[in-house]
Structure 1
Amino acid sequence: MAEKPRQGFWGLWNISFGFFGIQIGFALQNANMSRIFQSLGAELDNLSVLWIAAPLTGLLVQPIVGYFSDKTWLGKLGRRRPYFLAGAILATIALLVMPQSTVLWFSVAMLWILDASINISMEPFRAFVGDMLRKDQHSAGYAVQTAFIGAGAVVGSIFPWVLEQLSVSNVAPDGGIPDTVRYAFWFGGIMFLLSVLWTVFLTEEYSPEEMAAFDGVASEEEAGHTIRALAAKSFTSSFVWIGAGIAVMLAVAQFSLEKEVYLLGALLAGYGAASIGGIMLARGGSSNNMLSSIVGDFSGMPDLMKRLAVVQFFSWSALFIMWINTTPVVAQYVFNSADPQSAGYQEAGNWVGVLFTVYNGVAALAALSLLPWLAGKFGKAKTHIICLLCGAAGYASFFILRDKSLLLISEIGIGIAWASILAMPYAILASSLPQRKLGIYMGLFNIFIVVPQLLVATVMGSIMKAFFPTEPIWTMAFAASVLVIAALAMLRVDAVLPKESALKAKTAS
C-alpha cells in the first residue's frame, strides 16, 4: 500500500478551517437558545424539552450522513465536501432567520433546522481528518481541529457582549430578542458559510482509486462480513429494545413523569424495530442497504469503540447540562435576576457568553500546548482522565463562587476538559477504524454524544421539577458527577490500549 503524503502547516489549517465557522454557529446556539426561549415566554422547567431538537436531529442525521459520505464521489467536489457545503448553506439561512422569531414555536422549529444543518456539515469533518492525514498525523490533525473549534466558539460566544460594549441594545423593548443577539446570529451565518467555503475550495480530496491505494482494497469477504453477521443475529435483542421502550412509556403514565419522557421510550422501541428491519433485509440477501449497514455496524462496533462510547456518553451529558442551565444559574445566583424579562437577566446572558468564551479559548490553547505535553508524559488515556477531572472541579466550583469574575476560574477547568473531549477520543479511535468506513463509524460514535443529550433533555426537567424546582444550581452537581463517572470509565479504555512506551520502542526498532 502507498502512504499518504505528509501534510504541512497549511495543509492541516485548510483541512479544519471550516470548523471555525461551524463552531461560531454552534456556540451562538449553545449560549443563546435558552435565553431566546425564555425571552419568548418559555418556563425554566420547560427548557430541557425545548432543547430536544438539537440532540434528536443529531441522532438521526449523523449516521445517515456518515453512511452516504463514505459512498459519495462528486468529481471535483469530492467525497465529504458536498456535505460541508450543503450544511453550510442551510445553516446560514437558519442563522439569518432565527433572530426574527417573535413566537416560541417558530424559534423551536428554527432550532431543528439549524441543528440538522450543523450536523450535516460537522459530521463529515471528523472523517475528513482521517481521510486526508496519515495515521501518525491523526493526533495533530484533531488537535488543530480542536483549536479551530475553540477559536470559533470564542468568537460566537463573546460576540453579543462585544456588541453591547459598542452600545448595541441588549434589551428588546417588546420583551423579545435583543439586537445584540440578532446581529450576532447574522454575523455567525456569514462566517459559517465563508469558513466552510475556505475548506471546500482550498482542499482536494483523494479519489476513490487513491484511497484504495493508500488503504488497500477490501475483499468481498471483508465487505460482506457486517451483513452476514447481522443476518446471523436473532431477534431477541430487538424485542428487548422494544420492550424497554414500552416499559419507559408505561412508566410515564404510571408515575406521572414529564410527557417528554415518552420520546425516550419511543426511541428505544424505534431502534428495536429498526434492528428487526435490518436483520430481515440482511437475511433476504440485500447486501448494500443503509438500514442493515447502520444497524450491523452499530451492533458490531469494535471493543475499543464500545469502551470509548461509555466515556463519551457521560462526558456529553455534563456538557449538555451546562449549555442548557448556565444562563439561569448565573442569572439567579450571581446577578440575582431570575426574571427573563429583566435587564439583569439579559446582562447575565451576555456574561454567560463571556464565560463560554473563556472555556473555549482555554480549549483552543490547551489543544495545541497542554494536551500534547500531557499525552507525551502520561499517554492519551490518562491525559483524558486528568482533563475530565479538571472539568468536574470546574462544575463543582459553581456551588461556592458567587462573583462573576471568579467564575472565570471555573471555566478554565471546563475548558481543559472540553479540549480533551474534542481531541483525545478521536485521536485514540481514528487509527483503529477501517478507513473505507470512517464516515459511518464516526457517525455512529457521535450517537453517544447525542443520546445523553436526549436523556438530559427528557429526564433532567422531571428531576429538577420534582426535587429542585427553584434551584437550578443543582444541575451543576449532576454535571460534575457524570464527568467523574466518565473519568472512571476511561480506566477501562486505558486497560485495552497498547502501552505507548511499547509502541515507541517498536517504532524505534
Structure 2
Amino acid sequence: MAHGANIASGSARRPVLSFWQIWNMSFGFLGIQFGFALQSGFVSRIFQTLGADKDVIPGLWLAAPLTGLLVQPIIGYLSDRTWHPIFGRRRPYFLIGAILSSIALLYMPHSPTLWIAAGMLWILDASMNVTMEPFRALVADKLPEQQRSYGFVVQTLIIGIGTWVASNLPWFVTQLGVSNEAAPGVIPPSVQIAFAVGAFAFLACVLFTVFTTREYPPEDLQHFEAEKAKGRFFADIVHNVRHMPRQMRRIGVVQFFSWFAFFAMWSMATPGLTEHVFQAPAPDFRAYDVTVPDQAAAFAGANKAFQDAADLVGAYMGWYGLSSMAVALLLAFYASRRVLNRRAVHAASLVLGGLGFLSMYVVPSPVWLIGSFALVGVAWASILSMPYALLAGCIEEKRMGVFMGLFNMFICLPQIVAALGLGAIVKHAFDNHAIYALVLSGCSLLLAAVFLLRVSEHPTLEPVPEPAHG
C-alpha cells in the first residue's frame, strides 16, 4: 500500500489530500454518471418507442429504486467487511459493478419488447448501485473531516460533467449523421450508439480510479477479521436501522422529498415536455396501419417530430448537469479555503431547484427550458454533496459503508412511492397531462427545504451500540 499500514483509521489522523488525489479517487463517478444520465434521460424514450403509455411509465421505472433499496445496504455492509491486499475495501465492488453495468448499457437500447427493456433497467440499475455506494464511502474513508465537504463537492463536479456530456450524446450522434428514426417499435440507431459510448466510458473511468487510488488498510487486521467473523448480516442491518442516528433520520426526510422530485423528472420529463412544450407527443405505432401509405406517412411524420423533440429534451436536461458542475466548482473553490454553511447552501439550492421545475409549466418557448434545467442543476449539485457532508460527521467510521448504504433508503423509498402512484395521479388527477408531474417536482423540492430546518449544521458523533451476537 502506498500509504503504509501504520496510518490510523481515525479521520482526524488522515493526511490532507491534494485536489488531484481527490479527483482520481472520484473519477470513476464520471463513468457512473454516463450510465445514470443515459438511464434518466432516455429510458422513458425507449419505453415510449416500444409502445408504453404515459401513465404506466413510472411503474416501469419501479425496478430502479427497488434494486437500490436492496442492493446498496448489502454492498455497504459487505464492503465494510472486505479487505484485499491489492484491491482494498471498496474497489472490488467498483470493478464488478462497472463490468455488469457496461454489459447492460450495451444491450438496453436493443431490447425488442417493452418487458425486456423493463428487465434490462432492473439489471442496469442493480449493477450501477453495486458501483456507486462504495464511491460514497470511499470519500469518508480517505478524507479527514475538514476535507469531506470538499471531497463530496469534487464528486459532484465530476457528476455534472458526466451528466451534461451523456445527456447530449444522442443529439450529438444525430448531428454526426446517424439517424434518430427507426421502424415502428425499434429504438433509433443514434440512441443505440450513445448507449455503447456510455458503456465504454463507464468501464474506462472506473478502471482509472481502481488503478490510481489506494485505500488505507484496517489499523488492526487481526481485530478486523475477528469482528467480521462475528457479523450476522440481517440481524446487523435491522440493528443499525433501529439505532439510526437522529441526524440521519432528519436528513432522510429532506432526501425523501428531494428524490421524489428527481424521480418524477427522470420518468416523466420526456413525455411531459415533448407534449406540453414541443407539442410533439409520442405516436402510438399500434394505432397506425403502416401497410397503408397515408397512415405510414402520418406515423413517420409524428415519430420524427417526437424523436427530434426527445433529442432536445435530453440535450436541455443536460443543462442541469452543466449547471451542477458550475455550482460544484464554486463550492469546491470556497470549501477549499473556508468552512461552508452546508445547511444554508442546501436550503437555498432546493428552493432554486423548485422554482426551476415550476417554471417548466410556463416557459414561452422550448429554449427557455435551458434556464429551467439550470436552476434544477443548482439543487442537484447540492443534493449530491451537502446531505452526505452533513451526515458523515455523526457516523462511526467502522460503520460508514453500511450507514451510507442504509441512507440510500431515503433515496429509494420516495422513488418507489412515485413509481407506484405518480402514473395514477397524472392519469386521474391531471387528465393524463404529464407536465404536472414536473409541477409536483417543484412543490416537493420546496417542501424539502422546509424540512431542512430540523437538520443540525454541526452534528455530533452518535455512537451506535454493538449488536448482540449470541
In the other structure, the counterpart of 2:317 is: 356
Between 2-11 and 426-435, report the one with greater CA deviation.
Answer: 2-11
Q: Is the contact between residue 56 and residue 450 of structure 1 (CA under 8 Å) also seen in structure 2?
A: yes
Q: Give the one of 131, 136, 144 matched to 1:126.
A: 136
Shift of 1:432: 2.2
Q: Give the one of 263, 283, 304 matched to 1:343.
A: 304
Q: Is the contact between residue 342 and residue 457 of structure 2 (CA under 8 Å) also seen in structure 1?
A: no
Are the structure 2 counterparts of residues 95 and 495 from structure 1 closer, same or farther at C-alpha, using a change threshold of 3 Å? closer
In the TM superposition, 1:103-182 aligns within 5 A as 103-182=113-192
The C-alpha deviation readout for 1:439-484, integer Å capped at 9, x for no partner, is 0000000110011000000011121222123311211221111111
Q: Is the contact between residue 35 and residue 105 of structure 2 (CA under 8 Å) also seen in structure 1?
A: yes
In the other structure, the counterpart of 2:202 is: 192
In the other structure, the counterpart of 1:18 is: 28
* C-alpha distance in structure 1 between counterparts of 2:220 and 2:371, whole Å: 48
Q: Give the one of 232, 237, 243 matched to 1:294.
A: 237
Alignment pair present for 1:309 and 2:270: no
* C-alpha distance in structure 2 between counterparts of 1:340 and 1:493, whole Å: 46
Q: Is the contact between residue 39 and residue 177 of structure 1 (CA under 8 Å) also seen in structure 2?
A: yes
SS in 1 for 2:168: helix
The C-alpha deviation readout for 1:200-228, integer Å capped at 9, x for no partner, is 0111111112799xxxx89x9xx89xxxx
Alignment pair present for 1:368 and 2:329: yes
Q: Is the contact between residue 321 and residue 475 of structure 1 (CA under 8 Å) also seen in structure 2?
A: yes
Between 348-357 and 443-452, report the one with greater CA deviation.
Answer: 348-357
Alignment pair present for 1:50 and 2:12: no
* C-alpha distance in structure 2 between counterparts of 1:111 and 1:464, whole Å: 22
Could you tell me the percent identity over the aligned residues? 45
Between 202-211 and 131-140, report the one with greater CA deviation.
Answer: 202-211
Q: Is the contact between residue 111 and residue 117 of structure 2 (CA under 8 Å) also seen in structure 1?
A: yes
How many aligned residue pairs are there? Answer: 430
SS in 2 for 1:197: helix
In the other structure, the counterpart of 2:293 is: none
Q: Is the contact between residue 97 and residue 128 of structure 2 (CA under 8 Å) also seen in structure 1?
A: yes
TM-score norm. by structure 1 comes to 0.81
* C-alpha distance in structure 1 between counterparts of 2:457 and 2:399, whole Å: 26
In the other structure, the counterpart of 2:298 is: none
The C-alpha deviation readout for 1:325-359, integer Å capped at 9, x for no partner, is 11111111122111346211111211111122111
* C-alpha distance in structure 1 between counterparts of 2:16 and 2:332, whole Å: 22
* C-alpha distance in structure 2 between counterparts of 1:32 and 1:123, whole Å: 23
Runs of 4 or more off by more than 6 Å in structure 1? none
* C-alpha distance in structure 2 between counterparts of 1:211 and 1:30, whole Å: 41
Q: Is the contact between residue 371 and residue 420 of structure 1 (CA under 8 Å) also seen in structure 2?
A: no
Are the structure 2 counterparts of residues 410 and 376 from structure 1 closer, same or farther at C-alpha, using a change threshold of 3 Å? farther
Shift of 1:402: 3.7
* C-alpha distance in structure 1 between counterparts of 2:385 and 2:317, whole Å: 18
* C-alpha distance in structure 2 between counterparts of 1:339 and 1:137, whole Å: 47
* C-alpha distance in structure 2 between counterparts of 1:490 and 1:356, whole Å: 26
The C-alpha deviation readout for 1:380-412, integer Å capped at 9, x for no partner, is 101100000000000010121041111111111
* RMSD (Å) for aligned C-alpha atoms: 2.1
In the other structure, the counterpart of 1:331 is: 274
Shift of 1:173: 2.7
Q: Is the contact between residue 325 and residue 475 of structure 1 (CA under 8 Å) also seen in structure 2?
A: yes
Q: Give the one of 68, 78, 96 matched to 2:88.
A: 78
* C-alpha distance in structure 2 between counterparts of 1:77 and 1:373, whole Å: 33
Q: Is the contact between residue 51 and residue 185 of structure 2 (CA under 8 Å) also seen in structure 1?
A: no
Q: Is the contact between residue 104 and residue 120 of structure 2 (CA under 8 Å) also seen in structure 1?
A: yes
* C-alpha distance in structure 1 between counterparts of 2:457 and 2:154, whole Å: 27
Alignment pair present for 1:446 and 2:416: no
Q: Is the contact between residue 247 and residue 456 of structure 2 (CA under 8 Å) also seen in structure 1?
A: no
Letter in 1 for 2:304: A
The C-alpha deviation readout for 1:86-105, integer Å capped at 9, x for no partner, is 00000011011111111111
* C-alpha distance in structure 2 between counterparts of 1:294 and 1:192, whole Å: 30
Q: Is the contact between residue 304 and residue 496 of structure 1 (CA under 8 Å) also seen in structure 2?
A: no
SS in 2 for 1:209: coil
* C-alpha distance in structure 1 between counterparts of 2:218 and 2:360, whole Å: 51
In the other structure, the counterpart of 2:287 is: none
In the other structure, the counterpart of 1:406 is: 368
The C-alpha deviation readout for 1:148-178, integer Å capped at 9, x for no partner, is 1111111110000101111110111344100
* C-alpha distance in structure 1 between counterparts of 2:19 and 2:262, whole Å: 31
In the TM superposition, 1:491-502 aligns within 5 A as 491-494=453-456, 497=459
Stretches of structure 1 lacking an aligned partner (at least 5 in a row): 225-285, 499-509
The C-alpha deviation readout for 1:418-453, integer Å capped at 9, x for no partner, is 000001011111122111111000000011001100
The C-alpha deviation readout for 1:220-251, integer Å capped at 9, x for no partner, is 9xx89xxxxxxxxxxxxxxxxxxxxxxxxxxx
In the other structure, the counterpart of 1:393 is: 355
In the other structure, the counterpart of 1:38 is: 48
SS in 1 for 2:367: coil
* C-alpha distance in structure 2 between counterparts of 1:377 and 1:18, whole Å: 26
TM-score norm. by structure 2 comes to 0.88
Between 68-77 and 3-12, report the one with greater CA deviation.
Answer: 3-12
* C-alpha distance in structure 2 between counterparts of 1:73 and 1:377, whole Å: 33
Between 474-483 and 311-320, report the one with greater CA deviation.
Answer: 474-483
In the TM superposition, 1:275-294 aligns within 5 A as 288-294=231-237
Q: Is the contact between residue 123 and residue 443 of structure 1 (CA under 8 Å) also seen in structure 2?
A: yes
